[in-house]
Amino acid sequence: MRLPVTPAATLWRALRDEARRTYPRGRVMIAVDGEDGAGKTRFADNLAAVFREDGSAVFRASMDDFHRPRAERYARGRTSPEGFYRDSYDEATFRRVLIDPFRSGATPDAGFQLAAFDLVRDEPRPAEWVTAPRDAVLIVDGMFLHRPELRGIWHWSIWLDAPLDVRYARMAERDGTDPDPAAESNRRYREGQELYLKDARPRAAASVIVDNTDPAAPSRVYQDFC
């Protein structure tokens, strides 16, 4: 089923075609990264939809399903920005049960897991193994996907930009949080993401930068990093 022709769908298809020119076959792994509230999940869902239009076998995953247990996430303190950046996600499990078996594609019946942790219940999910054909696309959304420990795994990646006030307004509507970025309740997350920007320079690492201020009309950003 094809998505309607809209400014957003036109961009999604252009990004799909660009990725396909470089990676026409095999197992392809794509990251959709960005700060909280940038619109990563919806963007990744729509990117997956346009990949399916060309007959691709597409699989979706989110880093939100690879959190660490609460005790580990808050080991540095409940309000620690460094703890948010360094301890939120279980990269070892993410690589072991999803990335490594998907990437290998040694045999079509080799299984991988698209989710491993239930954040609400604060416990591992029961293992559900899925398989893919030799030619398949995995699209992962989430924060910190260009951190040094993960940067080298992606064939292609997107960084989503949106202004600070727009992102915090979205999170307030979505999660009931304070829309003021400077609020003390937001400090852990705001400063944790600032650590990420400084440590990983994700805009420079991404294959593509997209301004997602208006999700109905996202636009490609061309940036000179020299």
- Domains of the chain are 7-221 (3.40.50.300)
Residue 17 contacts by C-beta under 8 Å, 6 or more apart in sequence?
A: none
Asked whether the beta carbons of 153 and 29 are under 8 A apart, the reply is yes
Which of 139, 153, 158 lies closest to 49, judged by CA? 139
Q: What percent of the chain has pLDDT over 90?
A: 91
pLDDT at 105 over 90: no
CA angle 176, 180, 186 (to 5 degrees): 70
pLDDT at 109 over 70: no
Q: If you count them, how many residues does the chain have? A: 226
Which of 172, 217, 147 lies closest to 37, judged by CA? 172
pLDDT at 13 over 50: yes
pLDDT at 145 over 50: yes
> Mean pLDDT, to the nearest integer, of 65-78?
97
Average pLDDT, the chain: 95
What pLDDT score does 18 carry?
A: 97
In the structure encoding, which two tokens stand for residue 132, read together?
A: 């893919």
Q: Is the dihedral of CA 132, 137, 139, 145 positive or negative?
A: positive
Which of 55, 54, 53, 45 lies closest to 158, judged by CA? 45
pLDDT (tens digit, 9 = 90+) per residue, 159-169? 999 999 999 99
State pTM to two decimals: 0.95
What pLDDT score does 226 carry?
A: 47
